[in-house]
Structure 1
C-alpha cells in the first residue's frame, strides 16, 4: 500500500492541485517527511479559492450510480442500506479480499443491482474509479487510503463520500479542498452523527433561535474499543491499532465535532481560529500488548510502542469568540459517550449521559412533557419524512440511513450537500493539529481557513427539506 500511495502522489501531481507551485507543499509530499515546522506552515497557508464548493449544487442525477470501495463492517452495511434507496444503481464493488466482495454480492442477489466486482489486486480500486457508469464513489477503507482514493475519484469525474476521517494530515486536507474546487465534484465525509435524531433536533432549534447566541459547545468520542483494536479479525491488518501508534492527539474528532460545527455555523458565518490540546499518558494499550504477547507471539511487535495517551482534551477558540471542547478516549473502561452539549444565552442542550436533556434556566432540566412539546415543534422535516423508515432499516439507530438517503436525494435534486469539502478538511484537520499541540507542550496552533475567506458569506445548511424529498425507499 505504501508503494501504491507513493505512485499515486507521483502520478497525481501536486502542481495540478495548485499547491506545489506556491512552494507551500513542495517539501512535504508524504507523512514521513512532514515535520513540526511543516505543519505550522500548512496551518498558516492562505488559500486562494478557485471555486466555492459551499452551497454548490451539482447537475441533477435522476439515477445515482454508485461504486463502493472497502467492504469491511461499514462498507458492507452501506451497500445494504443503499440498495434500499430508490433511483440508485450499485454498479461496482471493490475490496482487496474476495470473501468480502462475495458477501455484498450475495446481499444483493434479490435486488436489481448487478455490480461488477474488483478484488485481489491492491490497485483494483483505480479501475472502479475509471468506469464511465459511476457518479458516486463510496469509500470505507482504512484511513491511510481515504484521501488518495477520494482524489483519484474526483480527478476521474466522480463525486465522493468518504468515511471518517477524510484525511490524516494537513497536506491531505489541502489536497481534498483544491481537487474538489478544481473538478467541481462533491467530497463529503460520512459523518453520520450529524444525522442522529437529537443532534438534528438541536440543529433545528439553533436555526430558529431557541438557544439564543451560542456561547460554547462540547463534543466527544468516548468508546471502550481497547480489545477491538487488538482483534485480528475486526480491522484488516490491525490498521486501527497501528493508527494509535502512528498518531497522538485526537484521532477521531468528527463524531462530536460535526454536529456542533453545524449548530455554530462554522465555515458559514464563523470559523475556528486556534486550538490547544493535551493528552494523558498511555495506561492501557501497551499493557494489553504485553498481556497478549505473553500468550501469542503475533503481538510481540506491538509491545513497547509509543501509543497515544488514553484521554485527549482539545479546546478551540472561534473568530466570534466562542469555544469548543473535544475529548477522545477509546481505551478506558468508561460508559459510551458522544457528548453533544450546546450552551447558549437562552438555553442549553446535552446528550450523554442519556437521556438527552434541554434546559432554559439554571433551575434544572425540562420535564418529559416539556421536552415532547419541543420535539413536536422543532423536529426537522427530514426526520418527519424518513425518520421512521431510517429506524427500521437501521445503521446506528437509523442515522446512517438518514445520511445516505439525504445524500442521494440532494444529488438527484441538484441540491448542495449538508457537508462539503471544507467541512471534511476542517473536521479532519483536528487530528494533525491536536497531535502537533500535544507534541509541543500543548502550545496553541492556528487552524487553517479552508474556505479561503468565503466563510464570511457562506450560508448555513438548510435542513428544512423545502426542496428535494422526492427520493423513494424500496
Structure 2
C-alpha cells in the first residue's frame, strides 16, 4: 500500500468490522459459552480473572499456578462470584502441570499470565493441544522464541491473541478514528513507550501481603514480580516492554497491513537508577547493592517503516517519574501528544496553539467505548482490561480472526531481542524481519469504526 492510498483506505473502512477477515457465517457457527483456563494466577492474572468471572458467557474451568497462595486467591475469586470452583493444577510445584490442563480436552481457550520466559513455550504447547491462546504481552524472550511461536501458530492454525490492553485505551481509540478520518493528514512521525517507575515493583520485602515496595529484595527472596522480573534488568539491556507503546503506533500506521517495519536501532543510557534505589533503601552493605544491573535507565529505540514513517520508543522504568506512555502522532496537518493532553490541527486550531484534547476526544470517541464504557467501569487499567478480554472471548465465540493476531504479537514483541542485539553491537541499525512473509502487502487494517469488539 502506497502512502497516498492511506486516507482513502481509512475512509473505506467506515462501517466495516473492528478487525479484518471475519469469516462469513461465523456467528451462526459460534458458541454461546466458553470454558476458559488460566496459566498464572499472580497479580496480573487475577486482574484478568476478575474480568472473566463477571461474564455470563465464560466458565473459568481450570487454573494453574505453582504458587499455592496465588492459586488459592484465584479460586476464591471464582467462588466468591458465585461460580463453580475450577479444577486446579500446579499446587505441587510442577512447572509443567499446565500441560495436563491443556491436554484435558475440556478448554475452549487459555489465558497465559506467567513470567515472560514461560510465554513462548506455554503458547506453543497450548496451540499444539488445539487450545486457543490469549497471551499477556511479551510473546517471547529470544528472537528464536518468536519464530518458534509463529511457526507453531501457522502449523496448527490455533488462534493466538496478544492481550495488549493499551490498544483499547479510550484516547488511543479516539485518536485512531482521527487518524483514519484524515484529521492529521499523512502520518510522518510517531512516538510511544513505557515510561513507568517500576522500582517498587522490581523490589520488595518478600512479604506476600506487600507485593510492592517495602524492601530491596528480588529473586528468590522477593515476591510477585520482584521474584522474576528484576532479573531481566540484571542481565538484559534493551527495549524490554515494547507493546504498550508500539501497539497503538502500529495500528495508526497499519503495520503488517499495508506497511511494515524495515529497520531498527536502539541506544541505552548508563544503568544507575536501580543501584541508587537499593543503596538508599537498603544501605550500601545490603548484598543487592553489589548487583550490576545491565538495563540502561533510558532505552531509546527507533523504527523505520516501509511507507516512510519513523517511530521512537522509550523504555524508562528505573528512575523516578510519573506514569506516561509518551504518545505523539504527527502528520502533515496536525498532531496529538498525550503528555500535555493536547491536539493541534492546522486550519482549525489557533495558529501555534494547542487545543485541549478532551474536546476532540468527545467528538471522535470510539463506538466501542460508547457501547461498553459503563460495563468497563472499574475494570483494570482504567477499563482497558475489560476490552482486551472482551475481544478475545467474542472472537472465540464467533470463530473469527483475533483482532491482535499472531503477526502483530510477534512483530511488536520481537522489538525486544532486536533492540538488545542493536545495543550489543554498538547501537547498530539492523534490518527488521518480515514475519508475515510478504503478506503485509495485502492484509487489511484492524480496528475500524464500529462497535463489535
Aligned partners of 2:202 and 2:225 also within 8 Å: no
Does residue 1:115 correspond to 2:70, yes or no? no
Partner residue in 1 for 2:250: 261
Shift of 1:64: 2.1
Distance 1:375 1:224, change over 3 A: closer
Could you report, residue by residue, the CA deviation over 1:194-217 in whole angstroms, capped at 9, with x for unpaired residues?
111000111122222222211111
Partner residue in 1 for 2:46: 76
Q: Distance in 2 between matches of 1:323 and 1:415?
A: 32
Q: Distance in 2 between matches of 1:165 and 1:99?
A: 25
Partner residue in 1 for 2:392: 407
Does residue 1:440 correspond to 2:425, yes or no? yes
Partner residue in 2 for 1:200: 173
Partner residue in 1 for 2:187: 214
Could you report, residue by residue, the CA deviation over 1:247-267 in whole angstroms, capped at 9, with x for unpaired residues?
111111111111111011000
Aligned length: 408
Q: Distance in 2 between matches of 1:286 and 1:236?
A: 18
Partner residue in 2 for 1:5: none
Partner residue in 2 for 1:154: 127
Distance 1:226 1:376, change over 3 A: closer
Partner residue in 1 for 2:152: 179
Aligned partners of 1:293 and 1:303 also within 8 Å: no
Partner residue in 1 for 2:8: none
Distance 1:462 1:338, change over 3 A: closer
RMSD: 2.1
Aligned partners of 1:289 and 1:303 also within 8 Å: no
- Give secondary structure in 2 for the equivalent of 1:209: coil
Aligned partners of 2:304 and 2:310 also within 8 Å: yes
Could you report, residue by residue, the CA deviation over 1:415-462 in whole angstroms, capped at 9, with x for unpaired residues?
322200111111111111111111111110111111110000000013
Shift of 1:132: 1.2
- Give secondary structure in 2 for the equivalent of 1:174: helix
Distance 1:399 1:236, change over 3 A: closer
Shift of 1:334: 1.9
Shift of 1:182: 1.3
- Give secondary structure in 2 for the equivalent of 1:108: helix
Does residue 1:88 correspond to 2:58, yes or no? yes
Could you report, residue by residue, the CA deviation over 1:180-239 in whole angstroms, capped at 9, with x for unpaired residues?
111111221111111110001111222222222111110011111113212235335621
Q: Distance in 2 between matches of 1:375 and 1:287?
A: 40
Partner residue in 2 for 1:252: 241
TM-score (norm 2): 0.85
Q: Distance in 1 between matches of 2:277 and 2:244?
A: 26
Partner residue in 2 for 1:456: 441
Shift of 1:375: 3.1
Does residue 1:321 correspond to 2:321, yes or no? no
Partner residue in 1 for 2:369: 383
Shift of 1:177: 1.1
Partner residue in 2 for 1:104: 74
Shift of 1:277: 0.7
Aligned partners of 1:248 and 1:435 also within 8 Å: yes
